[in-house]
Amino acid sequence: MKIKTEQLARTLKADAHPIYWLSGDEPLLLQEAVDQVRRYHRDAGFADREIHTVERNFNWERFRQSTGNLSLFAERKIIELRLQQPKLEDEGKLALADFLETDNSDLVILISSPKLESSVMQTKWFKSIESRSVVVQIWPIDRENLPRWLESRMLQANIHPEPDALQILIDRIEGNLLAAVQEIEKFKLLAGPDTTIKLDAQTVMQVVADNSRYNAYQLVDAALMGDLARTQKILDGLQAEDVYPLVILGAVTRELRTLQPMVEKRENGQPLTAIMQTARIFFNRKQTVRAAISRLSSALIWELLEQARLVDQACKGMSPANPWDELSMLLIRLSGSRVSTATGHLVVSN
């Protein structure tokens, strides 16, 4: 069965399952969920633990030996499969399916993987695994929910941030939850044990480095939401990290091609709710996609795709233009602003 992260503790207590598959691209949240499953089973008597890192051409015979060679007096065991890719080879699929048929209550398989794509989750094989297992999709904390998540973490550590201090901290750690936890630990060490900390903006400015980390998909979502300032900040961050601009351009063009038929349906009079349901938009992106469909036009999307072709040429050295400048202008238009260079200077207007 598929559950949310917040349902994991209740599910663990309610019933035993042979496989727990946890997937997500936020390392901290994924690790904490894995720790939660591991801790519960350790307390339940699964004293032994075996770890396999599953890469391409992994030897699944080792896994079969681990799940098939239990003696009468063997300890209960957790076998962890750490997948480097969210897909399994055919041999791995068969090995997991065969394990489920053994019905061995002394073994638990704990799988952690990058985010599972919908194409994987729709396969007959995965649905068979899901029906007899627990599947948890772990989503990153979005910008809207980050203040609540961060403040809760800080209060648990006996740190009481002022609103300005919290906002500065959010700006400096967004997209890097591990850095957030490390900064909280830093504040605790500076204050000493058993101390209630009143955290102000000046202290945050002095102590916390800029640890914000972004990816191309966060950049696209910021532009789709029409947040130009955030879009430019993320783009500057990606440029500082030496991300290859074609990677960013690819994310932008994929999104535009996905949005185009949805925008066309909206222009033809279809209701947004029906469009979103047909497109099977993940719940954590519904607000962003809805805003984009409502604001963009088919004509603008085709213009942006043509502009993306020019960005591609700049990235490949087929044009003297600076690819980062071209990307910036593309994203400015995607965010709903207008670009003018008539005076020889870049002018942005809403």
Using DSSP, state whether 101 is helix, strand or coil: helix
Q: Pick left, alpha or beta for residue 306 (phi over 0 → left; psi -120 to 50 → alpha; otherwise beta).
A: alpha
Block residue for tokens 């993987």: 113
- Cα–Cα distance measured from residue 4 to residue 277, given in angstroms and rounded to the nearest whole number: 20
- Cα–Cα distance measured from residue 111 to residue 128, given in angstroms and rounded to the nearest whole number: 16
Cβ(202)–Cβ(235) under 8 Å? no
pLDDT at 343: 41
Cβ(1)–Cβ(130) under 8 Å? yes
Same domain, 201 and 102: no
Alpha helix (H) residue ranges in the chain: 8-14, 27-43, 60-68, 90-102, 118-121, 124-131, 146-156, 163-173, 177-191, 201-207, 216-224, 228-240, 245-267, 272-279, 286-295, 298-315, 323-334
Same domain, 158 and 281: no
Hey, how many other C-beta atoms are within 10 angstroms of the C-beta on 230? 20
pLDDT at 179: 84
Cβ(204)–Cβ(167) under 8 Å? no
Same domain, 114 and 156: no
- Cα–Cα distance measured from residue 292 to residue 317, given in angstroms and rounded to the nearest whole number: 31
Confidence band, pLDDT 50/70/90 cuts, at residue 339: low
Higher pLDDT, 208 or 278: 278
Same domain, 222 and 344: yes
Same domain, 192 and 269: no
DSSP 117: P
pLDDT in tens, 57-74: 899 998 998 887 655 555
Cβ(168)–Cβ(200) under 8 Å? no
Q: pTM for the full model?
A: 0.65
Q: How many domains does the chain have?
A: 3
Same domain, 133 and 152: no
- Cα–Cα distance measured from residue 348 to residue 339, given in angstroms and rounded to the nearest whole number: 5
pLDDT in tens, 287-329: 888 999 999 999 999 999 999 999 999 988 888 899 999 999 9
As a whole number, the mean pLDDT across the chain is 87
Span 35-60, average pLDDT: 92
- Cα–Cα distance measured from residue 78 to residue 51, given in angstroms and rounded to the nearest whole number: 8
Same domain, 164 and 197: yes
pLDDT at 342: 44
- Cα–Cα distance measured from residue 71 to residue 91, given in angstroms and rounded to the nearest whole number: 25
Pick the last residue of a domain from 138, 161, 193.
138
267 alpha-carbon distance from chain centroid: 31
pLDDT at 20: 96
Extract the tokens encoding 59. 């030897």
User: Which domain, by its residues, includes 169?
Assistant: 146-207
pLDDT in tens, 242-257: 888 888 998 899 899 9
